[in-house]
Amino acid sequence: MENFVYFGLARALHVVGVVLWIGGVAFVTTTLIPSLRKMADTDNRLTLFEQLEGKFAFQARIVTLVTGLSGFYMMEYMNAWERYQQLQFWWIHLMTLIWLIFTLVLFVLEPLVLHRRFRMLANENSDRAFTLLHRGHKVLLILSLITVFGTVAGVHGLFLI
C-alpha cells in the first residue's frame, strides 16, 4: 500500500511538472516572444528577454528534472520498460524524446552554446534572432502538445494506431 502512495505522488508530481513546463513554453511561444518582437527598442528587447527567460529557465530546469525523475520512477514501479519495444506505446517514446530534447537544451546547449550565440545574433540583427527563436519555440510547442495529447489518449486506452 505504501508503494502505491508513492506511485500516486509520483504521478501527481509528473502531471504538475508537465503543466508548469509545457504551460511555460506555451506562454513564452504565444505571448512573450511575439510581444518582444513588436518592441521597437531592440536594445531593451534583448535585455527584457534575458531577464524573463532567465527566471523561466530556472523553473523549467526544476520541473523537467521532477518530470523525468517521476516518470522513470513510475516506469520502474510498473515494471513497464518493455513498453519501449511495443509500437502501441508510441507516446511513451515521444514523451521520453521530448524530455530528452528539453533536458539537452536546458542543461547543455542553452548554457554552453545557445545563450551566447543568440546574444551575438540579437546584437547583429535583433529581428532575425527573435524570428528564429520564435520559430524554434513553435516547433517545440507543437511537438510538446502532440506528446501531451497522445500521452493522455494513450494512458486512457486510445492508442491511435
- Domain assignment present for residue 160? The answer is no
Dist. CA 101–CA 49, nearest whole Å: 22
When pLDDT is cut at 50, 70 and 90, the band that residue 62 belongs to is very high
Q: Which three cell numbers stand for residue 4?
A: 502505491
CA distances from 132 to 8, 62, 160 (A): 40, 25, 32
- Domain assignment present for residue 102? The answer is yes
State yes or no: pLDDT of 158 exceeds 80: no
Q: What is the pTM of this model?
A: 0.90
Predicted confidence at residue 2, as pLDDT, reads 73
What are 94-138's pLDDT values in tens digits? 999 999 999 999 999 999 999 999 999 999 999 999 999 999 999
Average pLDDT over every residue of 65-71: 97
- Domain assignment present for residue 52? The answer is yes
Cβ–Cβ < 8 Å for 131, 37: yes
Average pLDDT over every residue of 66-90: 94
Across the chain, mean pLDDT equals: 93
Domain that holds residue 100: 2-155
How many other CB atoms are found less than 10 A from the CB of residue 15?
13
- Domain assignment present for residue 76? The answer is yes
- Domain assignment present for residue 161? The answer is no
- Domain assignment present for residue 30? The answer is yes
User: Domain tally for the chain?
Assistant: 1
CA distances from 122 to 22, 72, 119 (A): 25, 38, 5
